[in-house]
Amino acid sequence: MYCIMSLNNDLKKYNQDGTSAWVYKRGQSEKYRLYKQGDGTYTLNKSNDHPFSYHLFLLSEVCKAINTMQIKKYHFSFLRNILEKAATFLGHPRWEDLLDKTAEGNPNPFASRIMNLSSHSAHAGEETADIEEIDKERLKELVKYLTNTYGFKTQETLND
């Protein structure tokens, strides 16, 4: 017996005699989402109404951090991950193509620099937990630009 996952994520089991049977069909299965609570416990919520979109979850986490002013370095990595996924989906060869533009039509170099500096470093010793206020403000501006320009729908909205 062996199983094959089809392009639509359905799972089919093949028997040695050549017969097959569907093991998993998306439309006939219940979906659940596991949430980790602040106190370390977990809740399991039924989620049949919409597919899980990891990039929207990350965007929601970034918005929560901005609204509570609890921005950490990893939130910049979250945003870069969102940019990379969105660029691929929209057919752009580079995530920088999604950033706001200068008057000359080029990606804003400050936005690109802050995303690169904040999401990459050569050594763990270079990591710093402190984020400068100007960088926090720029993160907020970038998120607002992306949600307004590309129509991201989030559960969490930014406070002005």
- pLDDT tens for each residue of 115-149: 776 655 554 445 566 788 988 998 999 999 988 89
- Tell me what the pLDDT averaged over the chain comes to: 77
Other C-beta atoms lying within 10 Å of the C-beta of residue 78: 21
Reported pTM: 0.61
Are the beta carbons of 12 and 21 closer than 8 angstroms? Answer: yes
Are the beta carbons of 37 and 129 closer than 8 angstroms? Answer: no
| 3-class DSSP state of 76 | helix
List the structure tokens of 143. 């998120």
